[in-house]
Amino acid sequence: MSQKSFHRTDRVAAQLRRELGTLVHQAVRDNGWPSISVSDVELTRDMEHAKIFFTALQSDRADEALQALNENAKEIRYELAHAMKLRHVPELHFHYDKSLDEGEKINNLLKDLEDGTPSED
pLDDT tens digits, one per residue of 7-58: 888 999 999 999 999 999 999 999 989 999 999 999 999 999 999 999 998 8
Q: Are strands 36-43 and 91-96 parallel, antiparallel or unpaired?
A: unpaired
pLDDT over 70 for what percent of the chain? 91
pLDDT band at 72; cut points 50, 70, 90: very high
CA–CA distances in Å: residue 34 to residues 23, 38, 48, 106: 14, 13, 28, 24
Q: What is the pTM of this model?
A: 0.79
Tell which residue, 97, 5, 94, 96, has the closest CA to residue 47. 5
